[in-house]
């Protein structure tokens, strides 16, 4: 006989919570074999009774792991739905199965028999994209709101054949992880993806509004080491020591009072002294104030906005006597 079919929303499939149905959802069933009744939904719980083959029970609630709470003439408890079959009109129906579905209005437990049409599922609410392993929105499905999914699991990696969009959702599919490689963007549903991306996508982005621009890849303008002696200046646009257009000055007021001072309109952003790169330095908060070298331990990074308006960053690599050893990178505008 046909076992129970527990159809659970993908959003709940990974959970282990018990989803309770009210009395109006109770459904008759019968045991297909001698079946232990347990005190909880799993084999780790104690046995409180045993059903005989063909014994009638009433199914009142089910858990997502396939165990259901039943009532009968003996002690009530939990049984595995794999060993129950539906009962309709006083006898078991070989072509019937249970349908347990979670919808926005709550759980629903019912019997479906023979060629009974499957109800049309309620469309997801909000801006959602649904992805299918088959064309025409068939096969395995997963739906997601606005997000960037840099990798896909084994079920959907290189296995998306159609996309259905709801609300204002749009979808970008890319052949490689991290939205790289050949990409295709869709603003309307696509029942059959073109061969260039069908069964080839490894990452997706779901979004609304304008199509996101690809991330900016910074171009290095100048980079290298700088050995900066105290009282000297350095130009971070070209790495030159001294001369015009310098950006930082290794200022020594006394043997103890020493500073890195931005000059010629350049500015510094010390922040947390971590390596922030182009993206982090671009949005840093800059100041024209000088910085004591005693607040910059070896290994510190400092962002600089050069006198020519470029974004730069240097690292304090150490000292040789009083000479400050820096490594810097300046990016093009």
Q: Mapped to the 3 state alphabet, what secondary structure does 159-207 carry?
A: CCCEEEEECCCEEEEEEEHHHEEEEEEECCCECCCCCCCCCCCCEEEEE
Contact (CB, 8 A) for 92 and 111: no
pLDDT in tens, the chain (333 residues): 434 433 333 323 333 333 344 333 567 888 888 889 998 888 889 999 988 888 988 887 787 777 888 888 888 999 888 888 877 554 444 555 555 544 444 444 555 555 555 556 676 778 999 999 999 999 999 999 999 999 999 999 999 999 999 999 999 999 998 888 889 999 999 999 999 999 999 999 999 987 666 666 789 999 999 999 999 999 999 999 998 899 999 999 999 999 999 999 999 999 999 999 998 899 999 999 999 999 999 999 999 999 999 999 999 999 999 999 999 999 997
Longest CA–CA separation in the chain, Å = 101
DSSP at 219: -
- Residues 247-280 pLDDT 10s: 999 999 999 999 999 999 999 999 999 999 998 8
CATH number of the 5-113 domain:
2.30.30.40
**Pair 124, 175: CB distance under 8 Å:** no
Which residue stretches of 20-160 are H helix? none
For 164-198, the pLDDT digits (tens) are 999 999 999 999 988 888 899 999 999 999 999 99
pTM: 0.41
- Domain coordinates in residue numbering, the chain: 5-113, 128-207, 220-331
Fold exhibited by the domain 128-207: Gamma-B Crystallin; domain 1 (2.60.20)
């Amino acid at each position: 006989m046909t076992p129970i079919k527990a159809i659970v929303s993908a959003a709940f499939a990974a959970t282990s919570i018990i989803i309770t149905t009210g009395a109006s959802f109770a459904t008759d069933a019968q045991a297909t074999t001698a079946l232990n009744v347990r005190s909880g939904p799993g084999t780790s719980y104690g046995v409180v009774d045993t059903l005989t083959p063909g014994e009638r029970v009433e199914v009142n609630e089910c858990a997502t792991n396939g165990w259901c709470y039943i009532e009968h003439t003996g002690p009530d408890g939990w049984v595995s739905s794999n060993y129950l079959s539906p009962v309709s009109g006083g006898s078991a129906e070989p072509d019937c199965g249970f349908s347990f579905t979670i919808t926005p209005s709550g759980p629903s437990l019912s019997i479906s028999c023979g060629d009974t049409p499957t109800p049309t599922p309620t469309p997801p609410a909000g801006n959602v994209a649904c992805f299918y392993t088959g064309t025409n929105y068939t096969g395995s499905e997963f739906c997601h709101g606005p997000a960037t999914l840099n990798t896909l699991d084994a079920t959907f990696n290189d296995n998306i054949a159609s996309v259905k969009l709801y609300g204002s959702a749009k979808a970008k599919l890319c052949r490689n992880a991290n939205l790289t490689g050949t990409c295709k963007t869709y603003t309307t549903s696509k029942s059959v993806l073109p061969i260039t991306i069908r069964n080839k996508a490894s990452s997706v982005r779901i979004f609304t509004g304008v199509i996101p621009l690809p991330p900016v890849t910074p171009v290095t303008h100048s980079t290298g080491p700088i050995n900066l002696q105290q009282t000297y200046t350095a130009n971070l646009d070209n790495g030159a020591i001294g001369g015009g257009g310098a950006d930082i000055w290794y200022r020594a007021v006394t043997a103890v009072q020493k500073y890195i001072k931005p000059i010629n309109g350049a500015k510094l952003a010390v922040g947390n002294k971590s390596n922030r790169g182009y993206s982090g330095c671009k949005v840093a908060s800059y100041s024209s104030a000088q910085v004591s070298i005693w607040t910059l331990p070896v290994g510190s990074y400092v962002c600089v906005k050069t006198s020519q308006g470029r974004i730069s960053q240097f690292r304090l690599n150490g000292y040789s006597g009083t000479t400050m050893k820096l490594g810097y990178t300046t990016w093009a505008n």
